[in-house]
Amino acid sequence: MSSLLKERDIDSLLIIHGEKSFQAIQPYWPDLPEVSTTYAAYSGVCSESEIKRCKELTESLHVDAVVGIGGGKVLDLAKAAGHEAKKDVILIPTLASTCAAWTPLSVIYDDEGRFQTYTVFPRSTYMVLIEPRVILEAPLRYLKAGIGDTLAKWYEANAIVHGLGLHPVACGGSAACGKIK
């Protein structure tokens, strides 16, 4: 990880994490002696107030990048705080139940955990780092949830593609392409 950070001249990090997520990644977490690191546990929800708190922390510490470690909500929080502070975002998912590490958006809740909105960012995450052993050691229910989420995404994407006048990818003569029209 140190060499990847050096390539981008990242010398300081705000690391936002859940408690269980940080415990899961701890055996694999590298020593970063040349990088200034500040750790911040999150409240358990990606809310406007939590985004503001993490953005302000990012700015007051003058960090070069924001790291999110955990599941969907903490990764969404890191993306939103990094976006607001105009900093690179590095995500380390600890569960296979979510696509938050790969999507350039954040789902925002109120402080009680009720859905409010979502924000789509103009720029993707700078880096996604995966430790497969952490994903494998996560509870099985999260893998099952990830499979269910993936199946739902296929139906969502299929419905969206059917509504497009122009298809975003070349079909290459596939039989499936004929069905999209």
**pLDDT grade, residue 181 (50/70/90)?**
very low
Rounded distance between C-alpha atoms, residue 121 and residue 103, angstroms: 9
Selected residue with higher pLDDT from 179 and 87: 87
Give φ, ψ of 114 to 5 degrees: -90, 135
Whether 118 contacts 108, CB under 8 Å: yes
Encode 2-33: b = buried (16+ Cβ within 10 Å), e = exposed.
eeebeeeebebbbbbbbeebbebbeeeeeeee
Tens of pLDDT along 27-67? 999 989 899 999 999 999 999 999 999 999 999 999 999 99
Q: For 75-128, how does the pLDDT look when each residue is reduced to its tens digit (9 = 90+)?
A: 999 999 999 999 999 999 999 888 899 889 999 999 999 999 999 999 999 999
**Closest C-alpha among 144, 165, 142, 162 to residue 154:** 162
pLDDT score, position 170:
52
Question: Tokens representing 109?
Answer: 């809740």
What was the pLDDT predicted at 165?
A: 67
